[in-house]
Structure 1
Amino acid sequence: MTDVPNFNEYDQPIGPPLPGWTPRALPPRTPIQGRYCRLEPIDVERHARELYDAYATAPDGRDWTYMSGGPFPDFDSYYAYATRLSASTDPLHHAIVDVGTGKAVGTLALMRIDPANGVVEVGHVAYSPLLKRTRAGTEAQYLLMRRAFDELGYRRYEWKCDALNAASRRAAARYGFTFEGIFRQAIVYRGRSRDTAWFSITDGEWPAISRGFEQWLSPENFDARGQHRAGLAALIAAARA
């Protein structure tokens, strides 16, 4: 999109036209296959036990501090939670299945789905210790972005988090999101007030961000020890340049 404004008959600046724009389709409840992981709409019978076991590898409950649910003291409590996730259409929750083990090791969701305006948010990102800092964890984000932009033609992809959640804000920056500001006292959750940090990627930015992800995920980017040779943020920045 150009930054040069258009003007109407009253000499007022207006946004760029979108000739032929039509509402986009809702995200389908279908798997997305990647090289390192596969995204599957959550099936409580298929995924609940694996997800509970994966989350149980954490030494404490700190991963749930900024989430609306959890931590879960036993499988029954997680099963009830996963049952609600699987029944939801917005958010549309996905299990992240590690291709190497065939087991679900985390979740994320498309949410606040707005087909009329082509806007969607990624949220409810819950990575177990088995998924953090892995190629599969990064690829899961890429696969969901690719569905939104390339498959469905959405114009805007959002990331929001508690403004105090430093890890989430770092992740958004690493994935190529642009910080847009703080919505003060936006949410009440867990009996406390939350300021919300907003981030986004637009369709015009997506091609460069996509190239950065593809370069990072390439097997050639990893040495014999599995360490990446070039960082994702650096690759995205280079693609943008």
Structure 2
Amino acid sequence: DDLAMKSLANWTPRLPMEATSLMGNYVRIEPLVIERDVPLLWEALGGTSDAINERLYWFGGSRLEDEQDLAETLREIEKPVGCCVNVLRLQSTGQVSGMASYIATVPEQGSTEIGYVAHGLSMARTPAATEAHYLLAKHALVTMGYRRYEWKCDSNNEPSQRAALRLGFQYEGCFRQHRVTARRTNRDTKWFSMLDSEWEQREREFQIWLDPSNFDDDGQQKKRLEMIRNELC
């Protein structure tokens, strides 16, 4: 097809992804500062070991007993070049309410993944959560000039799969027996992607959905993001 035949004669490797500061109407995204943010994330994501481990179950790591364990997990995420954790703050309160990370970054190929995403109760299923994904995708595909933006998840993680499709990622397939988890269970991994060539359409969908006119006086959406996508096609 036309995309496959597109010449990349002028392609150059991109800079590694770094945590960044991004400002939206509903959410503010900031680089993780371990000492400052870990206690805030611990509280936002549940406040107790049981609650944290339930919310972060699909991270696939060992059980987190305290804030030090969470800090160590975040340090491990950020070890590879181009992998970084961003914290998500609600604009309305300034409260840290979640996290999202750039991982599996390959600057030579212009590919990065959004992963280790977690929203606290104050952010889950709100415009702030959707806006965070919009800002992070735009930063990767436009500002940093990456070609490919990935989303991967355990094949049993149905909420993550629904979220990927809702946000406009395309399903690519399943890697069977892809991982042995820290819990010594099998993980089949489902792959999704968003490409730079698709961004103009995705951005238009996000902008229409996030516009204040799409919400009623109670803050409820009038049109779902998928409905807007279908209307624009």
TM-score with structure 2 setting the length? 0.90
Find the counterpart in structure 1 of residue 43 from structure 2: 53
Describe the shift of the 1:71–1:212 C-alpha distance in structure 2 as closer, same or farther (beyond 3 A). farther
CA distance in 1, matches of 2:105, 2:139: 13
2:222 equivalent among 223, 229, 239: 229
2:54 equivalent among 62, 66, 70: 62
Q: Which runs of 5+ in 1 are unaligned?
A: 6-14
Cα displacement (A) at 1:70: 6.3
Cα displacement (A) at 1:78: 2.8
SS for the counterpart of 2:105 is strand
CA distance in 2, matches of 1:116, 1:76: 34
Find the counterpart in structure 1 of residue 187 from structure 2: 194
Deviations 1:117-166 (A, max 9, x none): 11111111111222110111111111110001110111111100001110
Find the counterpart in structure 2 of residue 35 from structure 1: 25
User: Considering only aligned residues, what root-mean-square deviation do their CA atoms show, in Å?
Assistant: 2.1
> Is the CA contact (8 Å cut-off) linking 1:54 and 1:129 kept in structure 2?
yes
Find the counterpart in structure 2 of residue 8 from structure 1: none
> Is the CA contact (8 Å cut-off) linking 2:21 and 2:28 kept in structure 1?
yes
Where does structure 1 differ by over 6 angstroms across 4 or more consecutive aligned residues?
A: none
Letter of the 2:153 counterpart: C
Find the counterpart in structure 2 of residue 158 from structure 1: 150
Give aligned-pair identity as a percent. 35
Find the counterpart in structure 1 of residue 131 from structure 2: 139
2:203 equivalent among 196, 206, 210: 210
Higher-Rg structure is: 1
Q: Which runs of 5+ in 2 are unaligned?
A: none
Cα displacement (A) at 1:83: 4.7
Letter of the 2:127 counterpart: R
> Is the CA contact (8 Å cut-off) linking 2:18 and 2:83 kept in structure 1?
no
Between Structure 1 and Structure 2, how many residues are aligned?
230
> Is the CA contact (8 Å cut-off) linking 1:57 and 1:129 kept in structure 2?
no
SS for the counterpart of 1:28 is coil
Letter of the 1:21 counterpart: W
TM-score with structure 1 setting the length? 0.87
Letter of the 2:19 counterpart: R
CA distance in 2, matches of 1:82, 1:66: 15
2:85 equivalent among 71, 74, 93: 93
Describe the shift of the 1:70–1:219 C-alpha distance in structure 2 as closer, same or farther (beyond 3 A). farther
> Is the CA contact (8 Å cut-off) linking 1:108 and 1:122 kept in structure 2?
yes
CA distance in 2, matches of 1:89, 1:18: 24
Higher share in helix:
2
> Is the CA contact (8 Å cut-off) linking 1:64 and 1:71 kept in structure 2?
no
CA distance in 2, matches of 1:55, 1:101: 16
CA distance in 2, matches of 1:102, 1:89: 29
Q: Does 1:2 align with 2:2?
A: yes
